[in-house]
Chains A and B, each alone.
Chain A
Amino acid sequence: MATRGWEQLLVEKFQGNADFAIKQAVIAGRAVAVYMFESIVDLPATLERMDQSLVGLRPDIRALEQLADLYRLRADPTLTELAHLLLQGKLVIRHPESGEPMVFKAEPPAITRPVSSAENENRIQGANDAFTEELQINIGLLRKNLKRQDLMIVKYSLGSTSCREVALVYLRSETNPEIVRAVDDRLKQNKRRDIRQVDDLLGLLGHPRFALVATYVSTELPEEAAQNLLDGKAVLLLDQFPNALAVPAIVRDVWSIKTDHNYPQTYLAFFRFIRLIGIVFAIVMPGLYVVLNSVNPELLRIQLALSVAKSREGVPYPAFIEVLLMLLVLEMVIEATTRLPKSIGPTITMIGGIILGQAIVQAKLVSNLLIIILAASTIANFTVAGYLNTIGIRIFKYVVLFVSAAFGILGLEVAVIWMFLYFAGLKTLTVPYLSLSVKGSKADE
């Protein structure tokens, strides 16, 4: 880059940005021009730290260069890179003699939240700290959790118009090298793609766009992420995103939570068994209700058939419409409570409880057996490990429902078989979804 002009170009580029600042500062006894974004750089703190580093040195240009060696990130950056570095909260200083830009690390102002306890993932026994938005802190949390020499951290800056930092974390001796290679290749190849949200990143990594199950495990717990690393997954940390994404997900992740290992083996087995049963219940029950009520009532024992028939007496809609209607109301309750302020949440719960629990049955709009079925199915749904997986099951429930309404018990079976066929065909980052471990150490994995 031309020695002259880079300042000019920089100023032109960020013209009109109120927080883009050019300041004069004295570093190592020399007055220098400093370029930065005021909003993301705490200049006084940065200068103070620099002064501390320079204690005992003769304040001259050499000291400044030495300081740059300590803090400089890259020599001779291009203008775009320079702009990206500034946007990342770095400090650019004009070399007082050569006029070259020197990039320094800067102290960020206090606009990040401290490490606090997890809000969405509850655990009874296990470490309580959670990831924050700051990438560096998140990496630190992982390091603290896994004090191992072979913990590898690779950082990528992605994007052309925006700039997003992504860190790939893996254990060299545990993670399947093919996964690491696949992730690394794709991140390098798509260096210039903009990453706004998680789905951009997943698209970049070649995950299927429409997948029924989550092809990654998302967690806000460093402990969980560390366990995923130990299990051979690679973890992706996205700057300004307080969840770690462990890739690739396998079928096991639907029923196993890594912090289960904080319990004795018997209890662990019990928890997982309950979750497995929960999956079956959640997927099958609404469909089974329709099957037993309208398509194949001969599957019920006569005693049960009679009481089912009685509970449906006077209900105006066919069973299928009835289930669909109630399921939609239920989905709306779930969806409404997810993002509501905590102070309004209980209202919805109460109203939902009145509607779903009592009124709708008394009004003879649906049978009370259906309420039991749906409540059981919804509760079962949330026993599944990982919030993302519960959504997949919630969706698949409808597939089962539609097919069973059309083809009865046979349709139900076919729908479940179809689900397994789908799983069998799913492959992310070289790992088939239906494998029980991602390490690839056995022939069938």
Chain B
Amino acid sequence: MTRMTRVLAALLPLVLLCGCWDVRDINKRYLPVVMGITKGKHADYSITLQIPSVIGKTQILQQEADSISKALDLIRTKAEKHVDLLHLRLFLISEEMAKSGLEDVMDFAIRANDISIKGMVAIVTGDFDKTLHHQISPTPEISSYDYFSEESGWTPNVSIVRIWEAFKGSQSYTEDLAYPIVHMGTDTLYDFRGSAIMKKNKMVGSMTPEQTLIYNIFLEKYTGGTIEAAKDTTVIIKKAKMRHHKSWTASGPQLKSDVYLDVAVTENKRNLSNRQIAEEIRLLIDEKGDEIVAKMRGLDSDFLGVGQIFRPTMNERQIKEWKTKWFPQLKFELSVKVNIRDNIYFKEGRQR
């Protein structure tokens, strides 16, 4: 064999094996960003895909079927371009669906090769179809995604759950999650309505936006949000840090958590002193914290992920028993330490 034929023989598989004839150009693909999943009227699932376009309109494809894959297949059949789920960034799930369990949805999202597990999950309360078909003109293309994007519209009041986290939460022995709840907005795309508390795959309760904020602090996801400490006094939380002190006594696990907050005062109409403001914040967070803890107890859902903190010290049996045996026995204390980093121009002790 001459050298040339050898080279050709080596190059032949490159042509034969690459499968490059299946490649579709970007303008021949639909790139949906949002997938809405709810119970169908005539079938188990109703799938809605929101496909943004540069000119500002959102195209919506909807299909009902008994399985998610089948519904997508039907959408592909009727679409004039290839439907490509690679850019799917947001899963909107109806409340009804969430309450009846999300196991299939999570399984599908994780198993499907073309869905990025970085996508986010949110629960829609109210009229699902209306929310999905809702179009706000000044912020077209991808605003539903931007709403949750930390680089654009996200604020600390909103909880973020990614698909991989949701899947992890639904499988974990030691952790549950809280998904964000949105509602069709009036002047914007969505209104934030707090968080859905999950237990395994099922939605069991909800938190208010204020409680979600504390929840975010607890998860150290907090930056730059405002809280109203007392009447006429508002602060921005610059930095939130948690420190956990765990112990495991005969009576079960005990957790003391300290929240360290660095705050800056933005409004102080009553001219309170730093100490007073700190005290107000402490009381507020204590109160909200207690509410959350009460909720955690009442719903029996470890959505703060306390089990994760104890996980290193538990043996395998204890890990498996965490949610049923140990979590109900948990003693949990939350204490808050506030450091006022900047009171702007509010001079302490100045009389008005």
CB-based contact B33/A302 at 8 Å:
yes
Known: A297-B84, A309-B54. A302 touches B26 (CB 8 A): no
CB-based contact A303/B142 at 8 Å:
yes
Which residues on B sit within 8 Å (CB–CB) of A295? 20, 23
Which residues on B sit within 8 Å (CB–CB) of A310? 27, 53-55
> Cα distance A65–B49 when bound, in Å?
102
Known: A312-B25, A405-B20. A306 touches B52 (CB 8 A): yes
CB-based contact A312/B26 at 8 Å:
yes
CB-based contact A407/B89 at 8 Å:
no
Residue in chain B with minimal CB distance to A404: B20
Which residues on A sit within 8 Å (CB–CB) of B86? 297-298
Say yes or no: is B14 at the interface (Cβ < 8 Å to chain A). yes
Which residues on B sit within 8 Å (CB–CB) of A312? 25-27
Stretch in A26-34, A85-93, A313-321, A379-387 with 4+ CB within 8 Å of B: A313-321
Known: A298-B86, A302-B31. A308 touches B141 (CB 8 A): no
Which residues on B sit within 8 Å (CB–CB) of A314? 27
Dominant secondary structure of chain A at its interface with chain B: helix
Which residues on B sit within 8 Å (CB–CB) of A313? 27
Known: A297-B31, A406-B20, A407-B18. A306 touches B141 (CB 8 A): yes
> Cα distance A308–B116 when bound, in Å?
20
A57 CB to nearest chain B CB (Å) = 67
CB-based contact A318/B23 at 8 Å:
yes
Which residues on A sit within 8 Å (CB–CB) of B78? none
Say yes or no: is A307 at the interface (Cβ < 8 Å to chain B). yes
- In the complex, how many residues of chain A place their beta carbon closer than 8 angstroms to a beta carbon of chain B? 26
Between B20, B29, B53, B89, the greatest number of chain A beta carbons within 10 A of the residue's beta carbon is seen for B20
Which residues on B sit within 8 Å (CB–CB) of A371? none
Dominant secondary structure of chain B at its interface with chain A: loop
CB-based contact A306/B54 at 8 Å:
yes
Say yes or no: is B256 at the interface (Cβ < 8 Å to chain A). no
Residue in chain A with minimal CB distance to B86: A298
- In the complex, how many residues of chain B place their beta carbon closer than 8 angstroms to a beta carbon of chain A? 25
Which residues on B sit within 8 Å (CB–CB) of A302? 31, 33, 52, 87, 89, 142, 145
Which residues on B sit within 8 Å (CB–CB) of A298? 84, 86-87, 114, 116
Q: Mark A314-330, 1 if CB is under 8 A from B, else 0.
A: 11001110000000000
Say yes or no: is B347 at the interface (Cβ < 8 Å to chain A). no
Q: Mark A396-411, 1 if CB is under 8 A from B, else 0.
A: 0000000101110000
Say yes or no: is B244 at the interface (Cβ < 8 Å to chain A). no
Say yes or no: is B337 at the interface (Cβ < 8 Å to chain A). no
Which residues on A sit within 8 Å (CB–CB) of B87? 297-298, 302, 305
Say yes or no: is B133 at the interface (Cβ < 8 Å to chain A). no
Known: A302-B52, A406-B18. A308 touches B26 (CB 8 A): yes
Between A293, A302, A318, the greatest number of chain B beta carbons within 10 A of the residue's beta carbon is seen for A302
> Cα distance A300–B86 when bound, in Å?
10
CB-based contact A293/B25 at 8 Å:
yes
Which residues on A sit within 8 Å (CB–CB) of B53? 306, 310
Which residues on B sit within 8 Å (CB–CB) of A309? 26-27, 29, 31, 54
Which residues on A sit within 8 Å (CB–CB) of B29? 297, 309
Which residues on A sit within 8 Å (CB–CB) of B245? none
Residue in chain B with minimal CB distance to A290: B23
In chain B, residues 47-72, which have Cβ atoms closer than 8 Å to a Cβ of chain A? 52-55
> Cα distance A314–B25 when bound, in Å?
11
Say yes or no: is B270 at the interface (Cβ < 8 Å to chain A). no
Which residues on B sit within 8 Å (CB–CB) of A320? 20
CB-based contact A303/B31 at 8 Å:
no
CB-based contact A293/B142 at 8 Å:
no
Say yes or no: is A39 at the interface (Cβ < 8 Å to chain B). no
Which residues on B sit within 8 Å (CB–CB) of A293? 25-26
> Cα distance A407–B20 when bound, in Å?
7
In chain A, residues 394-445, which have Cβ atoms closer than 8 Å to a Cβ of chain B? 403, 405-407
> Cα distance A300–B27 when bound, in Å?
13
Contact of B26 (CB < 8 Å), options: A303, A305, A406: A305
Say yes or no: is B24 at the interface (Cβ < 8 Å to chain A). yes
CB-based contact B141/A303 at 8 Å:
yes
Q: Mark B73-98, 1 if CB is under 8 A from A, else 0.
A: 00000000000101101000000000
A120 CB to nearest chain B CB (Å) = 34
B345 CB to nearest chain A CB (Å) = 40
> Cα distance A308–B29 when bound, in Å?
12
B15 CB to nearest chain A CB (Å) = 8
Residue in chain B with minimal CB distance to A307: B54
> Cα distance A212–B15 when bound, in Å?
22
CB-based contact B23/A294 at 8 Å:
yes
Which residues on B sit within 8 Å (CB–CB) of A315? 25, 27
Which residues on A sit within 8 Å (CB–CB) of B15? 406
B92 CB to nearest chain A CB (Å) = 16
> Cα distance A313–B89 when bound, in Å?
23
Residue in chain B with minimal CB distance to A405: B20
> Cα distance A326–B27 when bound, in Å?
19
Residue in chain B with minimal CB distance to A311: B27
> Cα distance A312–B141 when bound, in Å?
17
Contacts A/B (CB < 8 Å), 8 sampled = A294-B25, A297-B84, A302-B31, A302-B87, A305-B26, A315-B27, A406-B18, A406-B20
Known: A297-B87, A313-B27. 7 other contacts (CB 8 A): A293-B25, A298-B87, A310-B27, A310-B53, A312-B26, A315-B27, A318-B25
Could you tell me which A residues sit within 8 Å of B by CB distance? Answer: 292-295, 297-298, 300, 302-303, 305-310, 312-315, 318-320, 403, 405-407
